[in-house]
Amino acid sequence: MKKGWLQKKVKEYANLKGYQKPEKFSGILKLDSNENFVIGKQYQQDLIQNARKITDVREYPLGRAEQLVFALSKYLKVPQNMIGIGNGSDQILDLFLANFASKQTKVLTSNPTFGFFEERCKLYSIPTIKIPFSKNMTLDLNRFITKSNSVDILYLDSPNNPTGFQFPKKDLEELVKKFNGLIIIDEAYGEFGDYSLINLTKSQNNLIVVQTFSKTFGLAGLRLGYFVANKNIVDVFTRILQYPYPINSIAIEAGIMALQKPKIMLDAVKTIKNERKRIIQNLRKYKAFEVFDSKSNFVLFDAGGADSRIFTALIEQGISIRKLGKIGKHQGCLRVTVGTKEMNSKFLLAIRDLLE
């Protein structure tokens, strides 16, 4: 063994940035992490309580993951052998990158994209080609089609985080059908968008569509993720790549119960879409902001050089949003989660007080 290899490796990892989580503030209105607060806390507490009643956590969850897959199959209307599950969609993405990508494979994605995915590519030294967003925060399909000829993996979050952009369905389908490598479409925010590509997995053997319980179901703290893909990919992932028991017993049972009452989630999504429209319309009243269209549960806007001042002023008023800074040609980007009607009104009133 070469002397000093361990110290060298630790130093190499220490130089990486890592995924940046938002700062934790106590006693504050939290609109910085795209969580779903429209689904009531009491409903979530009831889910956990009922899951506890039927769970003995002294036992491994043997056979229960399969029941979660069965429930997902009914909800998604796809065969069980096309569904894999994981400890949040993060873990699913990580396992696919760690085992299907390398220093010799190239990944094509957008700039920006989901920060965790970017940092994981850096961790594994996977070369990435990034297509930047335009000034109005949209992507050029033709640039992706051109670049796709020289890469092995295509990753797109649809809708995109942090911009909220989603390709028109026919455009994304065209890109997917023309690409021969591995395709990962991250639909963490899919229910808030205009469409899903899940049904395309039945005909595209190289397509993986990843989704999560974190956003639409309001179960971010349980870390429940899943994906739909060709049965051969799912089989290899489940039998070989995935951990024996990746999801805890309480999370599994809560996930099954949540899937049995999809109307609660769908009603919340409808409310969030309506509130998203209200936030965009109100923010666009101010000349100080450039506000971008969104197909997600958040709104991105550029405050120019005033982003730090606005972020700090909102903190002082008990509201935390996400300060993103430079994105493409925009220097002062901020992102606000679409919360309940009351939360959103408080945010909009605070903005009014700051600017009027």
Q: What HEC string does 137-170 produce?
A: CCCCHHHHHHHHHHCCEEEEECCCCCCCCCCCHH
- Specify the pLDDT at position 3: 81
CATH of domain 23-39+263-355: 3.90.1150.10
Range with lowest mean pLDDT among 3-7, 98-102, 130-134, 244-248:
3-7
The Cα 98–Cα 200 span in angstroms is: 25
- Specify the pLDDT at position 19: 86
The Cα 354–Cα 283 span in angstroms is: 12
Q: How confident is residue 356, by pLDDT bands cut at 50, 70 and 90?
A: confident
The Cα angle at residue 270 between residues 267 and 275, in degrees rounded to 5: 125
Domains 23-39+263-355 and 54-260 share a fold: no
171-181, pLDDT tens digit by residue?
999 999 999 99
Residue 329 structure tokens: 């040609």
- Specify the pLDDT at position 323: 95
pLDDT at 1 exceeding the cut of 80: no
The Cα 327–Cα 302 span in angstroms is: 9
The Cα 209–Cα 184 span in angstroms is: 6
For the chain, domain boundaries: 23-39+263-355, 54-260
123-140, pLDDT tens digit by residue?
999 999 999 999 889 999
pLDDT at 47 exceeding the cut of 90: yes
Tell me how many helices (H) and strands (E) the chain has: 12, 13
Q: How confident is residue 24, by pLDDT bands cut at 50, 70 and 90?
A: confident
Look at residue 68 and give its three-state secondary structure.
helix
User: Of 274 and 20, which is predicted with more confidence?
Assistant: 274
Domain 54-260 has CATH 3.40.640.10: yes
State the chain's mean pLDDT as an integer: 95
* Mean pLDDT confidence for 152-176: 96
Choose among 50, 39, 76, 35: nearest CA to 264. Answer: 39
The angle, 0 to 180 degrees and rounded to 10, between the axes of the packed helices 341-355 and 307-316 is: 120
190-245, pLDDT tens digit by residue?
999 999 999 999 999 999 999 999 999 999 999 999 999 999 999 999 999 999 99
Residues 6+ apart with CB under 8 A from 68: 85, 247, 252, 255, 256
- Specify the pLDDT at position 22: 80
Strands (E), 63-127: 83-86, 107-111
Q: How confident is residue 23, by pLDDT bands cut at 50, 70 and 90?
A: confident
- Specify the pLDDT at position 21: 80
pLDDT at 17 exceeding the cut of 90: no
The DSSP secondary-structure symbol of 182 reads E
Residue 150 structure tokens: 């020289």
The Cα 219–Cα 142 span in angstroms is: 37
Q: How many C-beta neighbours within 10 Å does residue 251 have?
A: 24
